[in-house]
């Protein structure tokens, strides 16, 4: 099998690059001084070879390490541990990119539904999907169900929990999910439009299993989950074990930049089974560059056989006035997530929901 | 109940501090623009109050936010999400400290065994405990069991898997754990000293449950686990659900610094149930400051009623020549973890193991 190729950025002067890359290769595998690795099989098969080493445009050095594919054990947390576990603690190294052989991509399996599955679920064949959030944290199930009703009546395709909603005593998961699903069913009886609902699941493995079961029984359509809070293996186990419907990744706790964000939220979350990935878009409350967003879009939707493309969800302070620009920037295969800003500005909530949906439809041309 | 007090460092000029702190307070809870929060109960109980705001010595500003304790749901991933989920994606904010009311500390429960439990397990009443690692990744169960035998014969108290060992096809978890436990039992028959063994568990919730069951059946004594790879709630569920023995935290993927490392590896891992916490000590392969290490030691062992103190495990490139210095720096309530460096240098592996154990005993005075 071909190796896993991992690209790192080392903050080191070029003359020291090989030594630093060799240290990195040992740190991530054998964790032994060079002189202690006497077994030739370990030296050649376990310690990754340095496949490439070149000065980087921004100073420093790019190093590509070639890891034996068997070391990943086809498990997301084993893979992340292998590529960056200890080195995440060192200030002079970032993980920029990963390429995996096709056998591993098949093994991880990636999005179970992908863009086509989300479009089918929402009944939207072309143009952007619309999404909004149930918020704020602190409301009870009945109040959130009331907001869900208004979003559904206004024509929103997908309604998700704010990722701050968990299984709190003042808003228990089970009660919330049943209340929202019932509200969406009633709204569908009135309007003919059944908005889809993605509750947020969070906790340990048993909690995730219970919450997925509750969501299924209540008739929820998708799940929202934060891979870096529940652990990447638990996220993957939801996508390919505990839950059959679409799974939307949220980037909570995924920050800080030592793993390039387009790699983590784009390529890796897709690999681990995200059908859609929420990310902080340009000119919102988070400071990503246009180049990072462009790479992220490519990593989510670009060809990476046999993995299905995943839907990008620009978020983090978008508002409805930006719909045409968002579709122009991201293209039509996108889910527009507008949450807080629907609650302020001209015309009241219901009117703004309708204007959002209308703007999204018009942007489909 | 008293609030949760979280201290942040904001990279902002003092005149803008209040506005930035208010944004942070909303980002972590309601995720709504200020004008959209009309409900006075949400404004006063859900959005945290700014308890303190003052210029910081290093420029920037320290802000203390007071969160309603009920928002934590007494779940580690809900707590981390609340304190830093979205803000982890913003480059101008770090999480420095957290204080919880006693009711929450009781709820989380912290270390189940703590320092006293680890001392009892290893039969070491005073002075440092000794630990080493089974490595490198790439060896099979028989070879690792052979290394375990040598470490046990030399008198090491606790033997842990390298955190790179997982459930690989070439070294299956079940086979490895049985082989190592059997080897340690045989060595105990010969020498009278039964070294303790902490295999490394990693994966999704079902995998952790299976691995804990295997470890119990095989007679393993403790577990090693990486909270930031398995997810903090899964780690907590191991400590207070899936596993009865001591639990040792490993910092893989915990790096990058947006959460102060002494807070994460010290206070939070202790809160989540770590009986011992491995951390990168001074002058090793990782670049922590003396002040950070000092704070970490206090956070692991200092009074934080009713939570048991947890054992610090300085690591990351220590060697046996440093034993007296390590005990002088860290005090006698410490587990000395020396792995790779036993495999190089004068005298061969067996002699160096004995010298390590001897040096640790002598340091106890």
Q: Which residues of A touch B280 (CB under 8 A)?
A: 89
Residue A91, pLDDT score: 85
Active site residue B135: yes
Would you state the pLDDT for residue B58?
83
Q: Per-residue pLDDT tens for A321-353?
A: 999 999 999 999 999 999 888 999 888 999 999
Q: Which residue of B has its CA nearest to A137?
A: B30
- 8 Å CB contact between A344 and A309: no
Distance from CA of B319 to the nearest CA of A (A): 11
pLDDT for A101? 93
Mean pLDDT computed over every residue of chain A: 93
pLDDT in tens, B260-313: 889 888 998 999 999 999 998 988 888 788 999 999 999 999 999 999 999 999
**pLDDT 10s digits, B9-46:** 999 998 999 999 999 999 999 999 899 999 999 999 99
Do B85 and A29 make contact, defined as CB atoms within 8 angstroms? no
ipTM of the complex: 0.91
Residue of chain A whose Cα is closest to the Cα of B90 = A286
B138 → closest Cβ in A46, A85, A230: A46
Asked if B204 and A233 come within 8 Å (Cβ–Cβ), the reply is yes
Q: Which residues of B touch A344 (CB under 8 A)?
A: 33, 35-36
Residues of B within 8 A of A232 (CB-CB) are 229
A212 — pLDDT class (breaks 50, 70, 90):
very high
Tell me how far apart the alpha carbons of residues B78 and B331 are, in angstroms, rounded to a whole number: 34
Query: Per-residue pLDDT for A320 more than 80?
Result: yes
**A209 vs B204: CB contact, 8 Å cut-off?**
no
pLDDT in tens, A218-230: 999 999 999 999 9
Q: Which two tokens stand for residue A331?
A: 């293209």
Check whether A256 has a pLDDT greater than 60: no
Radius of gyration (C-alpha) of chain A in whole angstroms: 22
Average pLDDT over residues A310-319: 91
- CB neighbours of A360 closer than 8 A, spacing ≥ 6? A127, A128, A129, A130, A323, A327, A336
The yes-or-no answer on residue A135 being catalytic is: yes
Residues A212, B205 contacting (CB under 8 angstroms): no
pLDDT recorded at residue B283: 84
Q: Residue B165: closest CA among chain A residues belongs to which residue?
A: A78
Nearest to B163 among A81, A87, A232 (CB): A81
Whether residues B252 and A81 touch (CB distance < 8 A) is answered with: yes
Closest Cβ–Cβ partner in A89, A226, A286 for B254 = A89
Of the candidates A113, A135, A200, A237, the residue annotated as catalytic is A135
Is the bond preceding B111 in cis, omega lying within 30 degrees of 0?
no
Tell me what pLDDT residue A261 has. 86
Cβ of A164 within 8 Å of Cβ of B27? The answer is no
Contacts of A162 in chain B (CB under 8 A): 31
Which residue in A132, A131, A145, A135 sits closest to A166, CA to CA?
Answer: A135
Closest C-alpha among A209, A120, A200 to residue A159:
A200
Q: In what order do the strands lie in the sheet with A276-280?
A: A223-225, A247-249, A276-280, A311-315
Compute the nearest-CA separation of B345 from chain A (Å). Answer: 9
Quote the minimal CA–CA distance from A74 to chain B in Å.
Answer: 9
Burial track A133-163 (b if 16+ CB lie within 10 A, e otherwise): bbbbbbbebeebbebbbbbbbbbbbbbbbbb
Inter-chain CB proximity A208 and B203 less than 8 Å: no
Give the three-class secondary structure for A243. Answer: coil
Distance, in Å, from the CA atom of A357 to the CA atom of A360, rounded to the nearest integer, reads: 5
Verify whether the Cβ–Cβ distance A81 to B41 is below 8 Å: no
| Min Cα–Cα distance to chain A from B255, Å | 4
DSSP state for residue A203 in the 8-state scheme: S
Separation in Å, CA of B12 to nearest CA in chain A: 15
* B chain contacts of residue A91, beta-carbon cutoff 8 Å: 257, 287
Q: Is the pLDDT of residue B99 over 70?
A: yes
DSSP H helical ranges for B192-322: 205-218, 227-230, 232-237, 261, 269-271, 290-301
Nearest to A29 among B32, B84, B164 (CB): B164
Rounded-to-integer distance, Cα B122 and Cα B133, Å: 16
Residue B188, pLDDT > 80, answer: yes
**Rounded to whole angstroms, how far apart are CA atoms A105 and A88?**
24
Nearest to A280 among B71, B89, B316 (CB): B89
Chain B neighbors of A209, CB-CB under 8 A: 205
Distance, CA of A264 to CA of A257 (rounded, Å): 10
Alpha helix (H) ranges present in chain B?
17-27, 40-41, 76-84, 102-108, 114-122, 141-153, 173-191, 205-218, 227-230, 232-237, 261, 269-271, 290-301, 323-330, 348-363
pLDDT band at B345 (very low <50, low <70, confident <90, very high): confident
Bridge partner list, A5:
A66, A99
| Predicted confidence (pLDDT) per residue in A58-75, tens digit | 889 999 999 999 999 999
Closest by CA position to B304, among listed B268, B279, B262? B268
Percent of chain B with pLDDT over 90: 82
Token code pair at residue A59: 């100073």
Contact B166 A204 (CB under 8 A): no
**Per-residue pLDDT for B257 more than 80?**
no
pLDDT of residue A257: 62
Q: Please list every residue in chain B whose beta carbon sits closer than 8 Å to the beta carbon of residue A285.
A: 23, 27, 90
Least Cα separation, residue A135 to chain B (angstroms): 7
Q: Which residue has the tokens 């303790």?
A: B196
pLDDT surpasses 60 at B256: no
| Closest to B223 measured CA to CA, from B231, A89, B214, A29 | B214
A252 and B85 within 8 Å at the Cβ level: the answer is yes
Which of A70, A168, A207 minimises the CB distance to B70?
A: A168
B118: nearest Cα among B236, B215, B224? B224
SS3 A163: coil
Phi, psi dihedrals of residue B14, rounded to the nearest 5°: -50, -40
| Chain A / chain B CB contacts < 8 angstroms | 273
User: Where on the phi/psi map is residue A203: left (φ > 0), alpha (ψ -120 to 50), or beta?
Assistant: left
**Which residue among B88, B133, B170 places its CB closest to the CB of A255?**
B88
Question: Whole-model pTM?
Answer: 0.93
CB atoms within 10 A of CB B289: 11
C-alpha Rg value of chain B to the nearest Å: 22
CB pair distance less than 8 Å for B231 and A236: no
What does the alpha-carbon distance between residue B162 and residue B150 come to, in Å, rounded to a whole number? 16
User: Is A286's CB within 8 Å of B90's CB?
Assistant: yes
CA distance A312 to chain B (A): 17
Write the pLDDT tens digit of every residue in A86-123. 888 888 998 888 999 999 999 999 999 999 999 999 99
pLDDT of residue B340: 87
Q: Are the Cβ atoms of A234 and B232 closer than 8 angstroms?
A: no
Residues of A in contact with B206 (CB under 8 A): 205, 237, 241
Do A338 and A320 contact (CB within 8 A), yes or no? yes
Give the rounded percent of residues in chain B with a pLDDT score beyond 70: 99
Chain A residues with CB under 8 Å of B224 CB are: none
Helix (H, G, I), strand (E, B) or coil at A164: coil
- Note whether A136 contacts B31, CB cutoff 8 Å: yes
How far does B68 lie from chain A, in Å, by closest CA?
10
Catalytic residue among A113, A200, A237, A250: A250
* DSSP designation for A343: G
DSSP state of A309: P
* DSSP codes, B126-169: SS-EEEEEE--BTB-HHHHHHHHHHHHHTT-SEEEE-TT--SBT
């Amino acid at each position: 099998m071909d190796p896993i190729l991992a690209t790192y950025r080392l903050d080191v002067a070029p003359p020291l690059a090989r030594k630093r890359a060799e240290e990195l290769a040992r740190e991530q595998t054998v964790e032994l001084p060079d002189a202690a690795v006497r077994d030739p099989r370990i030296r050649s098969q376990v310690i990754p070879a340095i496949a490439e080493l070149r000065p980087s445009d921004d100073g420093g050095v790019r190093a590509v390490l070639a890891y034996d594919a068997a070391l990943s054990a086809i498990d997301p947390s084993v893979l992340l541990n292998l590529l960056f576990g200890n080195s995440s603690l060192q200030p002079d190294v970032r993980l920029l990119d990963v390429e995996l052989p096709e056998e591993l991509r098949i093994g991880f399996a990636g999005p179970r539904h992908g863009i086509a599955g989300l479009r089918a679920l929402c009944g939207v064949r072309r143009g952007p999907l619309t999404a909004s959030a149930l918020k704020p944290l602190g409301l009870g199930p009945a109040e959130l169900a009331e907001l869900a009703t208004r979003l559904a009546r206004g024509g929103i395709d997908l309604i998700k929990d704010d990722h701050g909603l968990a299984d709190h005593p003042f808003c228990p998961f089970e009660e919330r999910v049943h209340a929202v699903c019932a509200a969406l069913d009633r709204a569908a009886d009135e309007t003919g439009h059944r908005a889809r609902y993605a509750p947020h699941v969070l906790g340990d493995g048993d909690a995730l299993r219970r919450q997925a079961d509750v969501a299924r029984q209540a008739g929820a359509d998708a799940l929202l989950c934060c891979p870096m809070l529940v652990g990447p293996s638990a996220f993957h186990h939801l996508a390919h074990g505990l839950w059959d419907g679409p799974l939307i990744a949220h980037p909570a706790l995924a920050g800080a930049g030592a793993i390039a964000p387009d790699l983590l939220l784009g390529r890796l979350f897709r690999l681990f089974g995200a059908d859609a990935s929420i990310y902080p878009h340009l000119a919102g409350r988070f400071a990503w560059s246009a180049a990072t967003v462009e790479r992220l879009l490519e990593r989510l939707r670009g060809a990476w056989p046999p993995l299905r493309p995943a839907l990008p969800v620009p978020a983090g302070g978008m508002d409805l006035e930006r719909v045409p620009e968002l579709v122009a920037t991201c293209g039509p295969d996108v889910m527009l997530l507008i949450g807080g800003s629907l609650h302020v500005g001209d015309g009241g909530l219901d009117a703004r929901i309708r204007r959002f949906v209308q703007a999204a439809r018009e942007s489909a041309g």
